[in-house]
Chains A and B, each alone.
Chain A
Amino acid sequence: MEHKYEFVRKYRDQVLRCSNCGFCRAVCPVFGLTARPAYNARGKMLILKEVMDGTIDLNDELIETLFQCTTCASCAEICAGGVNVPEIIKAVRRDMVHIGSCHPAFKGMHLVLQEHTNIYGENEPADFKRKRNQKADYVYFIGCVGSYREDEATRAALDLLDHVGVNYTLIDEVCCSGVLEDVGYEINTALAQKNIDLILATGAKTVITGCPYCSRTFDNKAQYGALKENGIRIIHISQFLKDADLDVKTDKVVTYHDPCDLGRHCGIYEEPREIIRKIAPNFVEMRHHHADALCCGAGGGVRGAYAKNSIAMARRRLLEVEEAGAEIILTECNSCVHNLDNAKLRAQKFKIFTISQFLSQLLREKLNEDYLDQEPARLKKRV
Chain B
Amino acid sequence: MFFWRLLTGRKCLNANTKQLLRDIVGAEHFSDSLIDLIAYAKDASEFKHRPDAAAWPSSTQQVSAIMKLANKEKFPVVPRGAGTSLAGLTVPIKGGLILDFGRMNKIISVSIEDRLAVVQPGVVYADLARVLAPHGFFYPPDPASGAVATLGGNVATNAGGIKGAKYGVTKDYVLALEVVLSDGRVLHTGSKCMKSSSGYDLTKLFVGSEGTLGVITEITLKINPKLPLTSTAMATFENLEDAGKAVSDIMYSGILPSGLEIVDKASLIAINKNTDLNLPEVEAILIAETDGHTREETKFQLDKIIEIFKKNNASSTKRADTALEAEALWTARKTVYGVMARINNNLFVEDMAVPISKVPQMLRSIADIAKKYNLQIPTVGHAGDGNLHPVISVDGTNPDEIKRVEEASVELFEKVAELGGTLTGEHGIGLFKVPFMHLEHDEISMEVMRSIKGLFDPNNILNPGKMGLDI
**Interfacial residues, chain A to chain B (CB-CB below 8 A):** 13, 16-17, 19-23, 25-26, 35-38, 40, 42-43, 46-47, 50, 56, 61-62, 64-65, 80-82
A22-B44, A61-B34 are contacts. A37–B341 as well, Cβ < 8 Å? no
Which residues of A sit under 8 angstroms from B397, Cβ to Cβ?
16
Complex CA gap A13/B56 in Å reads 33
Give the distance to chain B from A85, nearest Cβ to Cβ, in Å.
Answer: 14
Complex CA gap A23/B125 in Å reads 13
Query: Can you list 9 residue pairs at the A/B interface with Cβ under 8 Å?
Result: A19-B341, A21-B44, A21-B145, A23-B84, A37-B100, A42-B39, A43-B35, A47-B38, A82-B341
Q: Considering the complex, give the chain B residue whose CB is closest to the CB of A50.
A: B38
Whether A38 lies near B33 (C-beta < 8 A) is yes
Whether A61 lies near B33 (C-beta < 8 A) is yes
Cβ of B126 < 8 Å from any Cβ of A? Answer: yes
Q: Considering the complex, give the chain B residue whose CB is closest to the CB of A81.
A: B341
Give the distance to chain B from A127, nearest Cβ to Cβ, in Å.
Answer: 46
Cβ of B41 < 8 Å from any Cβ of A? Answer: yes
Which residues of A sit under 8 angstroms from B83, Cβ to Cβ?
22, 37
A26-B126, A80-B338 are contacts. A61–B35 as well, Cβ < 8 Å? yes
Comparing B202-210, B342-350, B423-431, the segment that makes contact with chain A is: B342-350
Whether B102 lies near A20 (C-beta < 8 A) is no
Give the distance to chain A from B47, nearest Cβ to Cβ, in Å.
Answer: 10
Give the distance to chain B from A40, nearest Cβ to Cβ, in Å.
Answer: 7
Which residues of A sit under 8 angstroms from B41, Cβ to Cβ?
46
Give the distance to chain A from B179, nearest Cβ to Cβ, in Å.
Answer: 22
Cβ of B401 < 8 Å from any Cβ of A? Answer: no
Q: Mark B37-77, 1 if CB is under 8 A from A, else 0.
A: 01111111100000000001000000000000000000000
Please give 9 more A-B residue pairs, beta carbons under 8 A apart, in addition to A17-B342, A21-B145, A47-B38.
Answer: A22-B43, A22-B44, A22-B145, A26-B148, A36-B102, A37-B40, A38-B36, A43-B38, A65-B35
Cβ of B412 < 8 Å from any Cβ of A? Answer: no
A22-B83, A80-B337, A80-B338 are contacts. A46–B39 as well, Cβ < 8 Å? yes
Complex CA gap A62/B147 in Å reads 28
Complex CA gap A208/B347 in Å reads 45
Whether A35 lies near B56 (C-beta < 8 A) is yes
Q: Considering the complex, give the chain B residue whose CB is closest to the CB of A15.
A: B345
Cβ of B293 < 8 Å from any Cβ of A? Answer: no
Cβ of B221 < 8 Å from any Cβ of A? Answer: no
Which residues of A sit under 8 angstroms from B45, Cβ to Cβ?
20
Whether B147 lies near A37 (C-beta < 8 A) is no
Q: Considering the complex, give the chain A residue whose CB is closest to the CB of B83.
A: A22
Which residues of B sit under 8 angstroms from A36, Cβ to Cβ?
36, 39, 56, 102
Cβ of B10 < 8 Å from any Cβ of A? Answer: no
Cβ of B223 < 8 Å from any Cβ of A? Answer: no
Give the distance to chain A from B286, nearest Cβ to Cβ, in Å.
Answer: 23
Q: Which of A17, A19, A26, A38 contacts B35 (CB 8 A)?
A: A38
Which residues of A sit under 8 angstroms from B396, Cβ to Cβ?
16
A35-B102, A35-B103 are contacts. A56–B42 as well, Cβ < 8 Å? no
Q: Considering the complex, give the chain A residue whose CB is closest to the CB of B337.
A: A80
A17-B341, A17-B345, A38-B33 are contacts. A23–B148 as well, Cβ < 8 Å? yes
Complex CA gap A68/B182 in Å reads 37
Complex CA gap A40/B345 in Å reads 20
Q: Which residues of B in the span 146-161 have a Cβ within 8 Å of any Cβ on A?
A: 147-148
Cβ of B162 < 8 Å from any Cβ of A? Answer: no
Interface centre among A17, A22, A47, A50 (most CB of B within 10 A): A22
Cβ of B25 < 8 Å from any Cβ of A? Answer: no
Complex CA gap A38/B147 in Å reads 19
Whether A20 lies near B42 (C-beta < 8 A) is yes
Whether B42 lies near A46 (C-beta < 8 A) is yes
Cβ of B82 < 8 Å from any Cβ of A? Answer: yes
Complex CA gap A17/B34 in Å reads 23
Complex CA gap A64/B56 in Å reads 18
Whether A25 lies near B82 (C-beta < 8 A) is yes
Give the distance to chain A from B281, nearest Cβ to Cβ, in Å.
Answer: 22
A36-B102, A56-B34, A80-B337 are contacts. A20–B43 as well, Cβ < 8 Å? yes
Complex CA gap A61/B45 in Å reads 26
Which residues of B sit under 8 angstroms from A40, Cβ to Cβ?
39
Complex CA gap A65/B34 in Å reads 11
Give the distance to chain A from B377, nearest Cβ to Cβ, in Å.
Answer: 16
Q: Which residues of B in the span 91-132 have a Cβ within 8 Å of any Cβ on A?
A: 100, 102-103, 105, 124, 126
Whether A23 lies near B147 (C-beta < 8 A) is yes
Complex CA gap A81/B393 in Å reads 12
Complex CA gap A247/B217 in Å reads 58
Q: Mark B330-373, 1 if CB is under 8 A from A, else 0.
A: 00000001100110011100000000000000000000000000
Complex CA gap A42/B39 in Å reads 8
Which residues of A sit under 8 angstroms from B124, Cβ to Cβ?
26
Complex CA gap A80/B44 in Å reads 13
Q: Which residues of B in the span 197-242 have a Cβ within 8 Å of any Cβ on A?
A: none
Complex CA gap A47/B39 in Å reads 7
Give the distance to chain A from B108, nearest Cβ to Cβ, in Å.
Answer: 18
Give the distance to chain B from A66, nearest Cβ to Cβ, in Å.
Answer: 9
Give the distance to chain B from A374, nearest Cβ to Cβ, in Å.
Answer: 49
Complex CA gap A13/B229 in Å reads 43
Give the distance to chain A from B383, nearest Cβ to Cβ, in Å.
Answer: 22
A22-B44, A26-B126 are contacts. A47–B35 as well, Cβ < 8 Å? yes
Interface centre among B39, B45, B83, B100 (most CB of A within 10 A): B39
Q: Considering the complex, give the chain B residue whose CB is closest to the CB of A82.
A: B342
Complex CA gap A25/B122 in Å reads 13
Which residues of B sit under 8 angstroms from A65, Cβ to Cβ?
35
Complex CA gap A43/B100 in Å reads 14
Q: Which of B42, B148, B337 contacts A25 (CB 8 A)?
A: B148
Which residues of B sit under 8 angstroms from A35, Cβ to Cβ?
56, 100, 102-103, 105
Q: Considering the complex, give the chain A residue whose CB is closest to the CB of B346.
A: A19
Q: Considering the complex, give the chain B residue whose CB is closest to the CB of A13.
A: B345
Give the distance to chain A from B322, nearest Cβ to Cβ, in Å.
Answer: 21
